[in-house]
């Protein structure tokens, strides 16, 4: 009498195919694209909070007035600008849709040099010098920073 040890090829193929089907079901159920978008939005949330914190630290340290010219540089109150770094002066309304003029760029890398080594940049933004974040300053000293490329709804931080 012959004793059979192990599994047949058919049994192994059935088990492997069942495991493959289960793996596909789990991957589809986890929605990897949605998880990646959530991770990028989490980064955006941290970035805009960091920008607002840097601006408010500058306002406190330099005793800036309500118009915020020391910490933000030359700007028009109530107007939305894209935050840029370097000598960028055009193309700001192509990156951030809420920005109306192509030259509505606000270079914060010089005015906030004491608070940032590099201004945070949107994880999906590949345009050199552009951050993908917009800023609106109001007459009462409130600053609103928005992530232009947020994937799961509007992301704004104000202080």
Q: Which two tokens stand for residue 18?
A: 């069942």
pLDDT at 113 over 80: yes
Residue 1 pLDDT more than 70? no
Which ranges of the chain does DSSP label H, i.e. alpha helix?
A: 9-30, 32-61, 69-72, 92-95, 108-111
Asked if 101 and 153 count as a contact pair (C-beta separation under 8 A), the reply is no
Q: Which two tokens stand for residue 89?
A: 């002066």
Q: Is residue 151 part of a domain?
A: yes
Residues 6+ apart with CB under 8 A from 92: 81, 82, 84, 99, 101, 102, 103, 104, 105, 130
Decide which of 136 and 66 is more confident. 136
The answer to whether 66 and 139 are in contact (CB under 8 A) is yes
Is the pLDDT at 66 greater than 80? The verdict is no
**Looking at the domain assignment, is residue 125 inside a domain?**
yes
Distance CA 91, CA 132 (A): 11
Which residue range(s) make up the domain with 128? 40-158
Asked if the structure places residue 21 within a domain, the reply is: no
Asked, for residue 65, whether it belongs to a domain, the answer is yes
Residue 15 forms part of a structural domain: no
25, part of any domain: no
Residue the block writes with tokens 């800036």:
64
Pairwise pLDDT comparison (153 vs 30), residue with the higher score:
153
Q: How many domains does the chain have?
A: 1
Taking 90 as the threshold, does the pLDDT of residue 25 lie above it? Answer: no
Mean pLDDT, residues 112-137? 94
Residue partners of 144: CB distance under 8 A and separation at least 6:
135, 136, 137, 138, 156, 157, 158
Specify the length of the chain in residues: 159
**pLDDT single digits (tens) 44-60:** 999 999 999 999 999 99
pLDDT of 37 > 90? The answer is: yes
Query: How confident is the prediction for the chain on average, in pLDDT?
Result: 92
Domain-located, residue 90: yes
d(CA 96, CA 119): 16
pLDDT at 13: 95
pLDDT exceeding 70 applies to what percent of the chain?
99
């Amino acid at each position: 009498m012959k004793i059979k040890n192990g599994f047949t090829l058919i049994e192994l193929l059935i088990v492997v195919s069942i495991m493959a089907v289960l793996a596909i079901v789990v991957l589809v159920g986890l929605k990897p694209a949605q998880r990646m978008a959530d991770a990028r939005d989490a980064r955006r949330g941290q970035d805009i909070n960091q920008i607002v914190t840097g601006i408010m630290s500058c306002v406190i340290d330099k005793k800036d007035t309500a118009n915020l010219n020391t910490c933000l540089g030359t700007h028009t109150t109530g107007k939305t600008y894209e935050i840029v770094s370097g000598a960028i002066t055009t193309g700001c309304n192509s990156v951030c849709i809420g920005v109306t003029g192509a030259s509505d760029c606000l270079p914060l890398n010089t005015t906030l040099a004491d608070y940032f080594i590099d201004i945070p940049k949107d994880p999906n933004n590949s345009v050199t010098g552009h951050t993908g974040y917009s800023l609106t300053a109001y007459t009462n000293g409130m600053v609103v920073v928005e992530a232009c490329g947020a994937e799961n709804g509007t992301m704004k931080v104000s202080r």
